[in-house]
Structure formats: structure tokens, C-alpha cells
Amino acid sequence: MKNLVALLCLVFALHSSVFSYKCLSGVSHNSTTCNVSEAECLGDRCMTVCQYFYVDGIYFKSIYKSCANETICGLKGSGFHETVIFRFYVSCCSGHLCNTDEYYLPKDDPTPNGKFCPSAYCNDTVEECKSPHIVECTGAMDTCFDYRTEAIVFDGTSRNYSVKGCINAAACKLNFGDCIAITEKKRSLLTCNEPSIKLNKP
């Protein structure tokens, strides 16, 4: 009986070693490259998340590598106000240590799509930021967003943000709480709605 148990343990160990996959794992908050280590994963898929975030005249290019989160594989999204831009892309691959890809973001389509959203930005409050401005959305950004939060940027500074503008469905699905360079401390609001203003074309 002991021999049988030992044999089963050996078979299990061999099976686990054969079918155990690893992915490159690492994160950089303000660079297109990062130092990586190896992480064991439950599945055989790895991912690389690339992000661009522009706010207050400062931009962050960030990259994150890890075991794949299947719910976000393939997602790419954009959101913008005149002074705030958020873009990301999630690429996934299959196989041992396969996520060797470099920083890459697909280009946004700059073509106006005939939809408009309220546009506002305040960096000192989590209350509604009010503005008479309207921004014309472009490409796949066909949704209006209103986002208010207290967040910590990568240098440890805590700031309040209140932003309105255009966004696409993928960016709303990922939501700003998953930003690499900015960590939500306390969210006050995130809504994504159909544009209430549209351009009538003949």
C-alpha cells in the first residue's frame, strides 16, 4: 500500500512538472520596459498589458506582465478629455514564458464619429466637475463617461480627480481602477452612458 501511495505521488509530481507553465512577471509604472521574474501559472496563457496615461501635462507609459487574466485578453480601449488621455491594450499568448512582447499600443482612429460628450476636468475635487464644453468623439469612442476618484499616482502622491469625456466600451469594462500608474484610493463615481448629443448628417 505504501508503495502504491509513493507511486501515485510520483506520478502526480511528474504530471504537475510537465503541465506547469510559467510566465514572465513584472511591472513598470513609468517606462516601456520592466525587470521580470518567472511566475508559475494555473493555465498556459500569459499576458502583457500596455498603457498610456496623460494628465496635467505629464504622461505615463506603463507595462505589466503576468499570468493571463482571460476576462481581459484582447481588450483595447481609449478615453479622453482635452487634457486627459487614457489608452491600453492587453495581449495574451499561449505557452511557457511566451509573453516576451515589447511595449505596443494600437493607434487610435482620429476620425470624428459624429457623437459628442460633455467635457470637463478638475484635479482638486471628487465632486462633479462642471463645464460648458462639449468634445467630439473619435473612432470607436462612442460613449460618455463621468469619473470621480481619490487616487495615488506612482510617486505616492494622493490626488482628487473629476473627469468627463468620451470613452469606448472596452475601456469602460476595464475601468480606471485597473490603471497601472494610478491606484484608486476611494472611488466616488464611474458612469458610462450613450451620448446625449449627436451630429445629424444628411
Domain span at residue 50? Answer: 21-198
Summarised one tens digit per residue, pLDDT across range 91-150 is: 999 999 999 999 999 988 999 999 999 999 998 899 999 889 999 999 999 999 999 999
Q: Does residue 68 lie within any of the structural domains?
A: yes
The number of domains in the chain is 1
* pLDDT tens, residue by residue, 6-19: 433 443 444 444 45
| pLDDT score of 21 | 86
pLDDT at 68 over 60: yes
Within a domain: 6: no
**Closest by CA position to 16, among listed 38, 37, 40:** 40
pLDDT of residue 19: 53
- Inside any domain, residue 16: no
11 occurs within a structural domain = no
- Decide if pLDDT at 2 tops 60: no
pLDDT at 177: 67
C-alpha cell at 49: 498589458
CA angle, residues 53, 185, 79, in degrees to nearest 5 = 30
Residue 143 to residue 184: CA distance in whole angstroms: 22
Least confident residue range of 30-34, 39-43, 183-187, 197-201: 197-201
pLDDT at position 22 over 90 = yes
Kindly state whether residue 135 falls inside one of the protein's structural domains.
yes
Residue 186 located in a structural domain: yes
The mean predicted confidence, pLDDT, of the chain is 84
What are the C-alpha distances in Å from 5 to residues 2, 14, 19, 20?
5, 14, 21, 22
Kindly report whether the global pTM for this prediction surpasses the value 0.85: no
- CA triplet 96, 22, 90: central angle to 5 degrees? 80
Asked, for residue 9, whether it belongs to a domain, the answer is no
pLDDT at residue 74 is higher than 70:
yes
CA atoms within 13 A on the CB side of 98: 15
190 occurs within a structural domain: yes
